[in-house]
Structure 1
Amino acid sequence: MSNFKRYDFSGKVALVTGSSSNGIGAAIALQLAQYGAQVVITGRNAANLNKVAQKIKDASGSTPLEVVGDLLDDSFAPKLVQSAIDKFGRIDVLVNNAGFGDTDMSLSSENLMEGYDKVMGLNLKSAIRMTQLCVPHLEKGKGFSNIINISSIAAIRPYVLVYSCSKAALDMCTRCSASELGVKGIRVNSINPGPIWTDFGRSVGNDRFFHDLEHIVKAKSPLGRIGDPEEIANLASFLASDLAANITGSIFVSDGGMLVESMGK
């Protein structure tokens, strides 16, 4: 990143869920820290979380707060928010990035309803709960505070039954939350990525996930490429900044054109 700062988050605190792996959450936390924010990172794997923390410290000079836990545990979200307040005294930006998907979850799956509880619990319920818990702190930001939900183009185009349903519901959560929280000076927006180089494949037990997906992307995407987490972080930094002060309730797609496909291939 160049020395030219497009954004200044000095004195602000950002809480990013699902930030313990090599993916979108970690990239957003890193970039916000580079722009001056104090960041709270969280995930289930303490070792991975510590690696992300060290990367943030090396790149920004600030030390993030690491909070290990599972958002599927109902007792963890209040602990996470309170830990952020105890450490930094405020929360200005909430990024609901924690998510899970199962590429083998269809109507014929024997464990469909068990998977439904897990996917909806993490992708939707935890985002709603984190939003609810953070609102009393966000509304103290006097118009700066905002929430960014990390959704997916699967919310717009059918992909896998339960995963797509969870992300479509998250998009509606974004709109409803924006409508309700605007009077409190809190903006709420969604970023809906297409294929991004992350550890998602390994998280769903498919090490060949992106290898298998790459030829599809090259064939159907107008740009013919899988995106990088940093590109999603670029959009998140803009939405979290006061340059986006007039934007709320919006769904931003970053997919290389996957939704429109390519007419030239």
Structure 2
Amino acid sequence: MQTTIDSIIKTIKSSTQFLPCLVSFSIVYYKSSQIKIYFHSLTSLPTTIQLQQLTIQVKLIPDGKIKCLSIKNILHNQNIFAQDNNEYLIQFSNISLTKLHVKGILMKFYGKDQTKKTIQLGQIGKIYFNQINNFENEQPIDFIHEIEIIKTSSMEILVLLEQNNDHYLTVEIQRIKGLKIDQKNSMATCYFRVILLDRHRPLSTHQTKSYRLNSSTFSLNESFNINILAFNSNNLDRIMIMINLYSNANGKNEHRCIARVKLASPYFCSGTGTIHWQRFKQRQSFSMWHKLIKQ
């Protein structure tokens, strides 16, 4: 698992993409009605923060049970979980197999700096166990997620995912609503970038045309045929589609990413993007509205 995330980070560093803060972990359900979450790697924490202590809070939903794991003496620019030979895990007990399908977890990450000030690093959105294949088999299920500040915006986009053959995946951005109109700048524009990733590694990028910010709702109906020939039905879940919205509104001289949404399996992201991904795999074609996450 550590080799995988090191390779991912190395690939992203060599590109022009933003370097995400990634955490790798695995979840095991035991027949003794226990769930254990093992943490393997956490890399690329913000360089501006000098953490003295890291705390991971895991909440079991809908029960509300909370367990925490704290690590002291953090070494900067190193994998936190590789600093010693300890095993880092969080455990929940008395989780019956018959109730497993209605449960999930939510993770929050925060730390303390040299002045003992608490710093919120971000979270991993809800991961539902009923979306995970073969979860009850007492085998570790591996995850790599980005730790991010999740703030939902008022903007929503309608996205179609479609696969008619093994060669291409079609991503179509159909409509947007809730977009803020820039009344002070009639020349302000926005556009989308659609990025194909392999377990967080960027592979290809596609961009829509620019649109004037003079309406809060409009149709785009722009589609891209993305080459996925390297992925078959067995490893299709390694794919992630990230859709970023860029804008130069509010007096900005250049376009910057203001919001995004990720569509993938629960092994690599959370939120409505995981529901869309599962429905798409079941039906080969599925369209769904998504609220964008502020950046």
Question: Which TM-score band (shorter chain)?
Answer: under 0.3
More helix, by proportion: 1
Q: Higher strand proportion, which one?
A: 2
